[in-house]
Structure 1
Amino acid sequence: MVVDKYMDRMKDDTTLTFEFICEKGKLVSLFWADEAAKVNYREFGDVVSFDATFQTNNVWYLFLSQESLTIERVLLLQLPTVVLTDEDVAMKIAIERILPYSRHRLRMWQITQKLPSKVCAELADDMKFKKRFNKLIWNSRIDASEFDIRWRSFIEDYKLQEISWFSKMFHMIESWIPAYFRDMPLSGLMRTTSRSESMNSAFNKISHWGNSLVKFFSSFDSAMDRQRHNQCYLDHLSNISKIKSKISLKIMEHAADIYTNEVLIKVKKEIEQSLFSCSQYSVTNEEFYDRFVVMQYKDIMGSTPTVVNEEDSESECDVPEKTYFFKVVYDKKESRFECSCSLFFQNGLVFSPTNGIFPLKFTV
């Protein structure tokens, strides 16, 4: 019935894609995408997340983990840079075979949920232990070598050497720790499960894991219509009303023109933070580049950034104890900034170290 419904719909909508695979008279995999979904993927499909855990049972799980599903057809327009999944072995094998040039990454949230069951009850209830663990693994501002040092220190301090789960996760470290993805644009999807959970919540309101396939498709269409309507409404609000700032800066005015209100709140916070936590430590002017070293104070930041080489911070003047240094390079020809924190590259937002050196004549 579902197949017949979508085959009939394709006759009236030539932009709709619907494909399915049957084996021995049974439907084992299917894929569908309307034009709106294709446009969204074309614009934002450099990072793709597969969530095979939503209200799963043995039937629904097959639709995502069967290798017979031709992923090339799923990814119609371009191959993603990064593919995110849970620790499902079938998905790992399929991605390695069909998307060999895509980076496979595991969703961190599902890994961290296992932590309490892997340690003793005393550590499971120790807030300092959990805070230190989360602060370590979620830190996207340190590089891989620094992470390794901090991980080993963490393991030794809490005497976790004999727990095999920690050894296993360390050997898989390149698949789930942000420090190993500093060279990859993650489009703000660091905490991917929060987005998956948001989507699951939307479907929860109108569907149930025990529904038939026909009911599921009906619920899916309703959920997508509702989500797209809400998106149009929020876009409309962003167009007719902008968040005002008490700080008069050209970069703030430019941000208000190009960002939605939700993103603008984050950008506004970074710009304002840069005024109080960042300052130019040194600047070197060259023919094609201006090179800055920016100081940022940890007490105001709330998180630990990447530290540049020690020789970049040598000076006769005194430096506050909790201070970190970033390299920021301005390409005069391209009118482009690049910061050693890599957060603009990863998340698409200009973070406070870069904002800290913007002359008022620059807009980005």
Structure 2
Amino acid sequence: MASFVHLTDDEYDEVLVDDGPDNYDGTEEPKEDDGVEEPIVGMTFSSEEEVRSYYMRYAKQKGFGVRRRNSRQSEDGRVRWFTLVCARQGTAKSQASNILKPRQTERVGCKARINAVLNEDGGYTLSSVILDHTHYVSPGKARHFRCFKKVDARVAKRLEINDEAGIRTSKTFQSVIVEAGGYENVPFGQKECQNYIEKARQLRLGVGGVEALTNYFQEMQKKNVEFFYAIDVGPDMRLKNVFWADARSRAAYQSFGDVITFDTTYLTNAYKMPFAPFVGVNHHGQSILFGCGLISNEDAITFEWLFESWLKCMNDQPPNAIITEQDKAMKLAIARVFPTTRHRFCLWHIMKKLPEKFGSHSRYDEIKDSLHKCVYDSLSENEFEERWSALLETNDLRENAWLGLLYADRHYWVPAYVKNTFWAGMSTTQRSEGMNTFFDDYVHSRTTLKQFVDQYDSALRRKAENEAIANFNSFNTEIPCISHYPIEKQFQKIYTIAKFKEVQEEFRGFLYLTTSYFGGDGANFTYVVGDEIKVSDGFIKRVNYFVSVCGEDSLDITCSCKLFEFRGILCRHALRILAQLDKSEVPPKYILDRWRKDIKRQYVNVKSSYEATSNPEKQRFNRIQNCFYKLCSNAAKTERSCVKLISQLEQLKSEYPDDDSYGACSTAGLVTPIDGTTNNVLSPLVVRSKGRPTTKRRTHPVEKALKKPSTRRRLSTTEVQNPLIILYTYVEFIF
């Protein structure tokens, strides 16, 4: 029999102590037994777990917490002896950076403990017992000690399901409190729920870097061969860029890929790799994703790789038009990869730079007003040229480099130059930024690569559901017409609700229109339509537009405002002339298929990769839970039936033992280079990207919290290199 070794307090301090939230090593939560006898020297137990369980029950009865202090193993790996102490044992060593602001501690040097040694029978005998405490104990408050806090299996399942659904842990915890009838009836707190979710995410997501990312992509491609991905690695086999698109996005591009926006002004993950989505607009005016990338640089070579990968994904069919921010590298890459695509700069990104460029100028207000009139009020290219020259001459800005650059690129951003091209109503990269905001509910600045892609699927599921709801509403509800014109009724029957609202807004504009005949020749006529445009509360601008009507049977109608060419919606000026000419229908060429609700689009029936990722274990759990729901409801009506059901369930537990294999994950993520060799792909280096524009998008709570002075310990070099550790260190800020 091994002899007990008694250590002094000084010797205890030299032993590492596991003081984390789960220091109880998974032992079951102690049952609240009445009259647990006091420990005495000589008590024997069959196993180490039995000693722990007994002392935990005793501690909860008396009102103190328990920690495992230290232990020693023999050569065969068996524990020779171990010590369980009061949670308030030991002396705390201050780790505060400011000695005038010490941190709170529970260590007060309490001597209460038990020592157990291995006996000849293979069990354990108590060799030393100290019962007296140097502090007050309270049985009623014992539940607050960390050793007694453990999330039960029922709540754990609810936490995981709600977490994947995007429900905050704090909300789930509050529902548990309400169900239990108060905080005192719940053997754990909100922090324990958060800690559990951290570990569940880690198990669910597996490795946080490239290994898990490649595993995920390969698995998605097995489930759906139309899932596309491309990974770009450097000579050192370190990840540089990645692009992927699911099957539904690829199919949707065939219907709505005429115009896309591309934006990289959104940082998403621990490596500061810009999120680069390709976004379009569907028949409801909703943003639709055509794939996205994570890039490690913002130069022409990187953009070329991304655009070429995306073009290959879309079967070498380039878009008709693309909107990006004003960036030389993007401009060069688009010209090389999409030579036939009409390229436009984001107008908002350009105009927002005006305060930065001229904010300190003495004539700032005059320059701002003149530039706005030049850009927004010019209906033709000649009109823009005249106003631009007047702007430079009046304010002596001929030598201004920024304005000179803008003028050189005027064909890429000035409305008068680009309004002849169909842009689906988009003048800025607001679609991309809107998609970024949409992803804010799922990702943040410290999201790992694998977690980002995993949450990307959740975001797409919501997008698909929003479109399904819009489809349902368009077929099963309608908006009443506001006029008696049959043309409005035609749009009501054919267009989706969202697009019919836009058409109806043009009909409302009839109130502010006046028309007059300008002239004509044969079957060609021109009308002048005066419109009142509200600029501000005290200012209404009067503008005249010219509407040309050609032909009789095959009617062609054009307006100088170019709204139809730009948005695909007939303007109020053209509609007013058609109504004035007693036309009962709009010619078919002015009814765009991309806005119609009565067209069956193939991508709706395409099964996406993320739809095949449901967890079979969770499905089985839900089936079992549904069966038990009615049983539990009936048994809860009387105390007798409740006790009977519990007794029967206790007997069933032995037939379905716990399985700790949940959460096992693969770490084999390999990419085969061109030479055929197989190497491990390394995680990307943290990149220093270009300055992001100061957009007023919603800031994620994590980003706000990380800007505050941190009181947490400094991470070691090893931890900094691990993106998962970085994520889980700050994860409590999410909630």
1:19 match: secondary structure: strand
Query: Which deviates more from structure 2 when the two are superposed, residues 117-126 or residues 151-160?
Result: 117-126
For the residues of structure 2 that align with 1:112 and 1:322, how far apart are their CA atoms?
24
**Hey, what does 1:47 align to over in structure 2?**
259
1:3 equivalent to 2:214? Answer yes
Partner of 1:349: 569
CA distance in 1, matches of 2:452, 2:363: 38
Paired residue type of 1:337: I
In structure 2, the gaps of 5 or more residues are 1-211, 275-294, 536-540, 587-735
* Alpha-carbon distance in structure 1 between the residues aligned to 2:313 and 2:330: 14
Please report how far the alpha carbon of residue 51 of structure 1 lies from its aligned counterpart in structure 2 after TM superposition. 0.6
CA gap 1:110/1:119 in 2 versus in 1, 3 angstroms? same
Structure 1 counterpart of 2:505, one-letter code: K
Question: How many angstroms apart in 1 are the aligned matches of 2:265 and 2:543?
Answer: 42
The Cα of 1:58 is off from its aligned counterpart by 5.1
Please give the alpha-carbon distance, in whole angstroms, between the structure 2 residues aligned to 1:14 and 1:218. Answer: 18
Distance 1:63 1:149, change over 3 A: same
Structure 1 residues 185-204: aligned runs within 5 Å: 185-190=422-427, 192-204=428-440
Give the superposition deviation at 1:169.
1.0
CA shift at 1:232, angstroms?
1.6
CA–CA distance in structure 2, aligned partners of residues 283 and 362 of structure 1: 24
Matched, 1:256 2:492: yes
CA distance in 1, matches of 2:396, 2:496: 47
Does 1:34 find its partner at 2:271? Answer: no
Q: Aligned partner of 2:296: which letter?
A: L
Shift of 1:271: 2.1
Superposition TM-score, scaled by structure 2 size: 0.43
The answer to whether residue 346 in structure 2 is matched with residue 113 in structure 1 is no
Q: Does 1:217 align with 2:217?
A: no
Which of 318, 328, 347 pairs up with 1:79?
318
Distance 1:116 1:242, change over 3 A: same
In 1, Cα distance between equivalents of 2:554 and 2:252: 28
Task: Indicate if the aligned counterparts of 2:548 and 2:557 stay in contact, CA closer than 8 A.
Answer: yes
* In 1, Cα distance between equivalents of 2:462 and 2:262: 21
CA gap 1:102/1:253 in 2 versus in 1, 3 angstroms: same
Q: Distance in 2 between matches of 1:150 and 1:49?
A: 29
Query: Counterpart in 2 of 1:291?
Result: 524
For residue 372 of structure 2, what is the amino acid of its counterpart? N
> Which one has the largest radius of gyration?
2
Choose the corresponding residue for 2:414, options 171, 177, 195.
177
| Deviation of 1:97 (Å) | 1.5
Which of residues 59, 66, 86 in structure 1 aligns to 2:273? Answer: 59
Give the AA of the match of 2:526.
V
TM-score, with normalisation over the residues of structure 1? 0.83
Say if 1:132 and 1:203 are closer, same or farther in 2 by CA, change over 3 A. Answer: farther
Q: Evaluate the alpha carbon distance shift between residue 280 and residue 254 of structure 1 in structure 2; reply closer, same or farther with a 3 A threshold.
A: farther
Query: Which whole-Å CA distance do the structure 1 matches of 2:485 and 2:383 have between them?
Result: 36
- Per the alignment, residue 363 of structure 1 pairs with 585
Partner of 2:376: 138
Q: Residue deviations 1:190-227, cap 9 Å, x none? A: 1x232222211111121112211111111211111112
Taking structure 1 as reference, are residues 158 and 219 closer, same or farther at Cα in structure 2, changes over 3 Å only? farther
Q: What is the Cα deviation at residue 351 of structure 1?
A: 0.2
Q: Paired residue for 2:508, among 254, 272, 279?
A: 272
Distance of 2:501 and 2:354 partners within structure 1: 33
Aligned to 1:164: 401
Kindly tell me the number of residue pairs found equivalent between the two proteins. 340
Aligned equivalents of 1:96 and 1:159: distance in 2?
A: 34
Higher helix share: 1
Q: Is the 8 A contact 1:280 1:357 kept in 2?
A: no
CA spacing shift, 1:103–1:226, aligned 2, 3 Å: same
CA contact 1:16–1:35 (8 Å) conserved in 2: yes
> In the alignment, is the contact (CA less than 8 A) between 2:545 and 2:559 conserved in 1?
no
- In the alignment, the residues of structure 2 paired with residue 10 and residue 64 of structure 1 have an alpha-carbon distance, to the nearest angstrom, of 28
The residue number in structure 1 matching 2:287 is none
Q: Distance in 1 between matches of 2:511 and 2:411?
A: 35
Match of 2:643 in 1: none
Could you report, residue by residue, the CA deviation over 1:312-343 in whole angstroms, capped at 9, with x for unpaired residues? Answer: xxxxxxxxx95624132244454443334322
Does residue 240 (structure 1) correspond to residue 479 (structure 2)? The answer is: no
The residue type equivalent to 1:100 in the other structure is: P
1 CA distance for matches of 2:369 and 2:481?
Answer: 33
1:98 aligns to 2:337 (yes or no): yes
Question: 1:280·1:293 contact (CA, 8 Å) conserved in 2?
Answer: no
How much does 1:117 deviate?
A: 0.9
Q: Deviations over 1:64-111 (max 9, x none)?
A: 751333243144352112222223332222112121222222111111
What is the alpha-carbon distance in structure 2 between the residues aligned to residue 138 and residue 340 of structure 1?
Answer: 14
Deviations 1:99-140 (A, max 9, x none): 1222222111111121101114366973x754553343234x
Question: Cα 1:55–1:272, aligned 2, differ >3 Å: closer, same or farther?
Answer: same
Once the two structures are aligned, what percentage of the paired residues are identical?
Answer: 27
Structure 1: 5+ residue stretches without partners: 304-320
Structure 1 counterpart of 2:76: none
**Aligned residue for 2:230?**
19
Relative distance call for 1:325 and 1:178 in structure 2 (3 A) is closer
**Distance (Å, rounded) in 2 between the aligned partners of 1:180 and 1:248:** 37
